[in-house]
Amino acid sequence: MSFSYDDNLRGLLAERCAAFPHLGPTELSAGLKRAAVAVLLLETDDGSGEAAFLLTRRAKGLRGHSGQWALPGGRCDAGETVTQAALREIEEEVGVTLHGDAVLGTLDDYPTRSGYLITPVVVWAGLRPVLHLNHQEVAFVNRVPLAEIAREEAARFTTIPESPRRLIHMDINRTTVHAPTAALLYQFRELLAGRVTRVAELEQPVFAWR
């Protein structure tokens, strides 16, 4: 299955985001720092016109989660909404300036072991955005076709001795992405398929707990 990067896909995703029953903060997330990430949708760079999302590799010099796969994003500044934070982080990390009309919607808040409550924001990048990477934050990026995460076998679940919760992995382009990024991408994959699937209880690997 492939997905064309066109107005039909944008309309479908906007419709499903609008209908998505968003779960926001709960008592269990009290005290967590707010953060936002972007599921940034754009074309693949092979000329096929296929839809993709942007997956970044965090720079190794960063204090937190260096070298890990991530979606563009970070901590919300004082007074920022999650959508404002996601758009700012897109600009700071990959040099693409977008505005509120690029936002299709938000998915569930995800509490992390490292003390953040992450809101995924689904963003449409438009035609042929030019990326300018901030290498202090981003080592490199991949444009991952949506078809890659739509595969049934892309999501795997395991367990670890340290937690009774299921650990999620997303196998993408011959590498493995772990939660929290894997959990957020899994929920987006489910949205793409027309399903509502909760992910807040999906576990992260121990190395991501810090």
Q: For residue 85, tell me if it sits in a domain.
A: yes
User: What are the CA-CA distances from residue 156 to residues 93, 178, 179, 183, 186 (Å)?
Assistant: 29, 10, 11, 11, 10
Q: Residue 65 — pLDDT band, cuts 50, 70, 90?
A: low
User: What is the Cα–Cα distance from 181 to 203, expressed in whole angstroms?
Assistant: 11
Give residue 66's pLDDT: 54
Range of the domain at 77: 7-148
As a whole number of Å, the CA-based R_g of the chain is 16
Q: For residue 118, tell me if it sits in a domain.
A: yes
**How much of the chain, in percent, has pLDDT values that exceed 90?**
80
Q: For residue 159, tell me if it sits in a domain.
A: no
User: What is the Cα–Cα distance from 111 to 51, expressed in whole angstroms?
Assistant: 28
Mean per-residue pLDDT, 132-146: 92
Q: Write down the pTM of the prediction.
A: 0.94
Decide if pLDDT at 63 tops 90.
Answer: no
Q: Which domain CATH number covers 41? A: 3.90.79.10
Q: For residue 45, tell me if it sits in a domain.
A: yes
Q: For residue 141, tell me if it sits in a domain.
A: yes
Q: Is residue 33 within 8 Å of residue 109, measured between CB atoms?
A: no
Q: For residue 153, tell me if it sits in a domain.
A: no
Decide if pLDDT at 178 tops 90.
Answer: yes
> How far is residue 116 CA from its own chain's centroid?
14
Q: Is residue 148 within 8 Å of residue 173, measured between CB atoms?
A: yes
Q: For residue 181, tell me if it sits in a domain.
A: no
Nearest CA to 63 among 74, 78, 72, 53?
74
Reading the block at residue 135, the tokens are: 């290498």
Give residue 207's pLDDT: 86
Q: For residue 156, tell me if it sits in a domain.
A: no
* Choice between 208 and 148, residue whose per-residue pLDDT is larger: 148
Q: Residue 84 — pLDDT band, cuts 50, 70, 90?
A: very high
Q: How many domains does the chain have?
A: 1
